[in-house]
Structure 1
Amino acid sequence: MNRSSAAPRGAVGPSAVLAGTYAAIGVVHLVVQLTGPGWLSRPTQVLLMPLLAGWLWCAAPERTRLVRLVVAALALSWLGDTLPAAFTGDAAFLAMVGGFLLAQVTYIVAFWPYRHASLLRTPAVTGYVVAFGVLFGLCAPGAGGMLVPVAIYGLCLTAMAVLATGVGTLAGLGGAVFFVSDGLIALGAFADWYDPPAPGFWVMLTYLAGQALLAVGAVRAGGVTATTGATAPRSTAPE
């Protein structure tokens, strides 16, 4: 269904402006992670998820259940990006985990209708389970009192990544990259031996790429059936 607000042929529509702004601010943020100045890190980060959510809302041919829930998940991810600034120490970390836990649960609800087309009931799901087990095993010795919250979040993150594969190739890749991003955060927080160069750069690169792939996957999933993953008329897509 074409919306009446679509831009005329040859004009630059709002989705293109939002996509370009997301990319530009994302590049600035990544450069800041590498070279500074540090004071630019948070102002640029807090702009990114609203821009991506706005792009998804404008770019989607139809504002389906999937699109609406992914927009909500991006909004909750924004809370995970911004809430830690109001706290210090473990409270800041828990605020971040809390925001992103809500986002992961929302992603799971969004992707659940597509579970039959996902890797959930295939041998390939073993790879996700093993990845979670290895990551949890590496982080558990240093997690202390946050072991249970970390385990719950990790299970939800893994479920999201698996279910995203049912939405399409891009969404599945986005879920996997998002898993990597949060895995790097967990290693940085709980594994004393983990000390890579420019850790913030790698976390944010995978985070921004993962979220963008999930959003693009949601746009492209309008004609995919929940049962088989095959192309179908939009009226048969999950709502």
Structure 2
Amino acid sequence: MDARKEGLPLKIIFSDQHPQVRRWLVPFILACSLYFLLWIPDDQPSWVSALVKCLPILCLVVFLWAVAPGGSYSRLLQGALVCSAVGDACLIWPEAFVYGMAAFSAAHLFYLWAFGLSPLKPGLLLVTILTSLIYYSFLVPHLEPDMVLPVLAYGLILTSMLWRSLVWGGSASWGGVVFTVSDGVLAWNTFVYSFPFARLLTMTTYYVAQLLLTLSALRDPGLKTH
């Protein structure tokens, strides 16, 4: 896949040329609104709270099926979204945190597969690695010994996804950056210091990131416009 084929500009995606896009985004917006309106407390894990949390991501799976079907890129994004939904459900229960990381690792591998490895852009890789090393140098000392390897393995996969999303460009690059910020806030709040509004910031950036990554599939040809 050609990394130069960036997604359509957002102002074109949401223009009158593409009413199908706006129509199929309504379920995602409503599902996000439901999550924030209900705001089920973290200390009340249940399958209902898991479903409410996963619903926006599942809506994006349907969105791709309706608006950008058939292409390998869209199918890989759908795979990433399904794995993300599994990860969301796991993170509802603290004891399933590692399983959640594994599911999100699989999601990032799907994104990596979608973005491809050409062109390499080693300079951009170096910047992302250095940035990640700075962050993890502060995070790792706060981890329990049995969490160091899983967290570092996840961080390596996330950093790789960020690198390839930046090379791919368009909304994918913004999605990769925002996803990394979301995960960074979540990890800091979980392992280092619990701060007010961390969950609100984590989930807001998370849903925005997944939306931006999803919108990267909207390239002509293949975009249903009516």
TM bucket by the smaller chain?
0.7 to 0.9
- Structure 2 gap ranges (5+): 1-15
8 Å CA contact retained: 1:49, 1:74: yes
* SS of equivalent residue, structure 2 residue 149: helix
Aligned positions of 1:210-221 closer than 5 A? 210-220=209-219
**CA offsets, 1:28-53, max 9 Å, x none?**
32344xxx453675442121111011
Larger Rg: 1
Distance in structure 2 (CA, Å) of the matches to 1:31 and 1:164: 31
Deviation at 1:147, TM superposition (A): 0.5
8 Å CA contact retained: 1:138, 1:187: no
The residue type equivalent to 1:53 in the other structure is V
Aligned positions of 1:71-90 closer than 5 A? 71-85=78-92, 88-89=93-94
Distance in structure 2 (CA, Å) of the matches to 1:121 and 1:146: 31
Tell me which residue corresponds to 1:131.
131
Q: How many residues align?
A: 201
Tell me which residue corresponds to 1:196.
195
8 Å CA contact retained: 2:121, 2:167: no
Tell me which residue corresponds to 1:22.
28
8 Å CA contact retained: 1:70, 1:107: yes
Distance in structure 2 (CA, Å) of the matches to 1:203 and 1:64: 30
Provide the identity percentage.
26
Answer 1 or 2: higher relative contact order, Cα 8 Å, separation at least 6.
Answer: 2
8 Å CA contact retained: 2:80, 2:110: yes
- Structure 1 gap ranges (5+): 1-8, 224-233, 235-239
The residue type equivalent to 1:57 in the other structure is W
Distance in structure 1 (CA, Å) of the matches to 2:107 and 2:36: 23
TM-score (norm 2): 0.79
8 Å CA contact retained: 1:174, 1:213: yes
8 Å CA contact retained: 1:174, 1:210: yes
Tell me which residue corresponds to 1:58.
66
Distance in structure 2 (CA, Å) of the matches to 1:215 and 1:84: 22
Distance in structure 1 (CA, Å) of the matches to 2:129 and 2:88: 27
Q: 1:125 to 1:84 in 2, by over 3 A?
A: closer
Distance in structure 1 (CA, Å) of the matches to 2:184 and 2:52: 22
Deviation at 1:69, TM superposition (A): 0.5
Q: Which moved more, 1:159-168 or 1:66-75?
A: 159-168
**Is structure 2 residue 159 aligned with structure 1 residue 158?**
yes
* SS of equivalent residue, structure 2 residue 195: coil
8 Å CA contact retained: 1:181, 1:202: yes
The residue type equivalent to 2:36 in the other structure is L
Tell me which residue corresponds to 2:185.
184
TM-score (norm 1): 0.75
8 Å CA contact retained: 2:51, 2:89: no
Tell me which residue corresponds to 1:3.
none
